[in-house]
Structure 1
Amino acid sequence: MNLDTDAGSYRNELTRLLGCQHPIISAGMGGPARSELAAAVSEAGGFGLLGMVRETPELIESEIAAVRAATQRPFGVNLIPAATEPSLFAAELSVCIATRVPALCFFWDVVPEVIKQTKDAGAIVLYQVGSLEDAIAAEQAGADAVIVQGIEAGGHVRGRAGILTLLPEVVRHLRVPVVASGGIATGGGLIAALAMGASGVHCGTVFLTTHESFAHDYHKQRVCEARAGDTVYTDLFAINWPPNSPVRVLANSVTDEARGQLFGHHPDQLPREVIANEGGRPIYRFSTDSPLRSTVGDLEKMALFAGESSALVSARTSAAEVIARMLREANEAQRRIAAYGRRS
């Protein structure tokens, strides 16, 4: 990989593709990743993604406008075809195309028709996948870059293998830039991903706790307090998503009560017990909704999405501070590696 590391920028083929300074993408987390976060990441030199899964076209249009009012730098929108009713997804994609969003990021099943429609409209396509087979399918369908998600990731988890194994396997087979996702919250993680052939990193948990994130303060604090081993991989939180869609969350009373029965939960068979409210909309226990700034109710029982990297996140800072810290740590890691080489 050709890197320009002057001033710790780590410019490469991914940054050239996206038009950003640093190869750090903030995940398009449904709910937390609204305009304030996406704009802050892009303004700080990373690449911000709006998480607009199952949102109305009107909200998407207003959030895109809000990003543009806050920064002149490029950004993208994250949509999920598999988790969205087809007519709503078509309307979501149409408003993104009509407003000339620079890039679209898609997740879960690879849908070639969606890639073609997006590229025909002149937008860059990022596709997040969890296997070599889907990575190849995304590239063959025309994706400009592929985000490879390991099982360490928070939120909905497509990956079944650890990122240290999956990433180099995918890199060996693809020609487009590959981005690492899952378990990365430090500059050392960035350097490790680059060393394995990635062109950048895609981070969710570390940005969820930032001041600009739309996540509820309770969710942010729980992530900051987490230690290694505090996350749970399960399909308990299934309402609103297709069957067999596992997630990674912080352990809570819901996962504790499930004991060893963490899998085998069908969304249509789970009870509809209201535990919270979001803008007048009821939130059910076992829903995939996470607590947002505007959520009220029993937040402890909700899906507290977090990756294994939550053990590495201990403070609530700005998105710009996250990026600056990761770059500083990356430079320090580079110096340590160089020092080892001089000693050998």
Structure 2
Amino acid sequence: MHTTWQETLGLRWPVAQAALGGGISTADLAIAVSAAGGLGTIGLMPETEFAAEIARASRELDGKPFAANLLMPLLRRGHVRACVEHRVPVVSVFFGHDPAMVRQLKDAGCYVIYQVGDEAEADRVLGDGADALIVQGCEAGGHVRSTQRLANLLPRIRRRHSNVPVLAAGGIFDAASARRARELGADGVAAGTRFLLTPESHAHDDYKQALLDASETLLTDLFGLGWNAPHRVAPNAATRRWCRADARAPRWLAGLNTLFEGPSRLLPLSAAASLIRWEQPGLPLFGPFPFSRQMPAGRGDVAPLYAGECVAQIADIRPAADVVRELGTAFAGPAAGTGDGPAAP
């Protein structure tokens, strides 16, 4: 009998909540998703808070699996230490490589899922020891590793790594989009924007409303101070003021963002995140930290409003458990064009 990845982890549904960093996906969201039978994920935040949220999720879930995310450009030693010391069941990794870190996590008993943006990166992380892949299409929100749409990329990685669990990310927000991902060959889905728009997410209410009002997104590099990489956001005052016609930042600003990458990694993550207090639409020094519940109102003009293209099709705030069940049911019957499929739990 074939054992699916979710059965290996003890999940009811093959649904992962994508990591929403900067204090957006705390233990509240991760617990709600995992309690509903999916895989909740604690996003990256300053080390002390990260460890505390992991401890709370572990305590309240009482053996149910959850994940913690290691976002490589913002990683500090304390993040890895928290995952190892608390023996987090699943660790998701994104936007960078460290084979020694992967070995350390696996030695601690962690199941390692790597989010990748192309075939070469999939080959590399599996060689490093990753247990599963999240294949990200360029329609995804937040930082974007891929230059290809999910429908083009996922089948190629599926064929290349037929025996590895592959989850789909980018444009997953309802049962129909989850079914399409399954038909492309996905063993499960990872959703971000849809889980951000839940009561359990710690995105600021103004951020959530901005996404509910959004009809488009931009792939830009504007919010790149300290991490100059492409990211998909909903428009705000900063993008309207500074983005060029192609949605990119002015070249001089992109250079400044890159220049600050090295020094920013010497700062405690809490200090780097606090720089948002000095941001304003007329001063283009915009960092990657999102508009969380902990920030004062009005920061939506200058903070990145991360969102995937699917945001234009989401019109409500919905409990995380409902999202898990809706996405999960797409995997409950036979896949299109096959005579079999995982049985409904």
Calculate the TM-score normalised by the size of structure 1.
0.84
Residues 231, 248 of structure 1: 8 Å contact kept: yes
| Residues 151-160 or 75-84, more deviating | 75-84
Q: Which amino acid aligns with 1:212?
A: E
1:223 aligns with 2:211: yes
Q: Which amino acid aligns with 2:245?
A: G
* Matched residue, 1:153: 140
* Matched residue, 1:322: 323
* Matched residue, 1:163: 150
User: Is the alpha carbon distance of 1:111 and 1:322 closer, same or farther for their aligned partners in structure 2, counting shifts above 3 Å?
Assistant: same
1:234 to 220, 224, 237: 220
User: Is the alpha carbon distance of 1:199 and 1:81 closer, same or farther for their aligned partners in structure 2, counting shifts above 3 Å?
Assistant: same
Superposition map of 1:1-344 within 5 A: 13-30=4-21, 31-53=23-45, 55-56=46-47, 58-72=48-62, 73-84=64-75, 88=76, 90-174=77-161, 175-227=163-215, 230-241=216-227, 243=228, 245-257=229-241, 258-260=243-245, 262-263=248-249, 264=251, 265-266=254-255, 267-268=257-258, 281-283=274-276, 284=279, 285-296=285-296, 297-327=298-328
Structure 2 runs not aligned, ≥5 long = 261-269, 280-284, 340-345
Structure 1 runs not aligned, ≥5 long = 3-11, 271-276, 339-344
Residues 187, 330 of structure 1: 8 Å contact kept: no
C-alpha distance after superposition, 1:63-115 (max 9, x if no partner): 0122123323110100122333xxx2x22101211111111110012322221
Residues 149, 159 of structure 1: 8 Å contact kept: yes
Q: Which amino acid aligns with 1:184?
A: I
Q: Which amino acid aligns with 2:274?
A: R
CA apart distance, 1:331 = 6.7
Q: 1: distance between equivalents of 2:57 and 2:49?
A: 12
Residues 24, 201 of structure 1: 8 Å contact kept: yes
User: Is the alpha carbon distance of 1:70 and 1:331 closer, same or farther for their aligned partners in structure 2, counting shifts above 3 Å?
Assistant: same
Q: Which amino acid aligns with 2:240?
A: D
Matched residues, number: 312
DSSP 3-state at the match of 1:146: strand
Residues 188, 331 of structure 2: 8 Å contact kept: no
Q: 1: distance between equivalents of 2:16 and 2:138?
A: 18
Bigger relative CO (Cα 8 Å, ≥ 6 apart): 2
User: Is the alpha carbon distance of 1:66 and 1:249 closer, same or farther for their aligned partners in structure 2, counting shifts above 3 Å?
Assistant: same
| Residues 308-317 or 261-270, more deviating | 261-270
The structure where strand makes up a greater share of residues is 1
User: Is the alpha carbon distance of 1:280 and 1:302 closer, same or farther for their aligned partners in structure 2, counting shifts above 3 Å?
Assistant: closer
Q: 1: distance between equivalents of 2:142 and 2:60?
A: 27
Over aligned residue pairs, what C-alpha RMSD do you find?
Answer: 2.6
C-alpha distance after superposition, 1:297-323 (max 9, x if no partner): 432221000001112211112101212
Task: Give aligned-pair identity as a percent.
Answer: 35
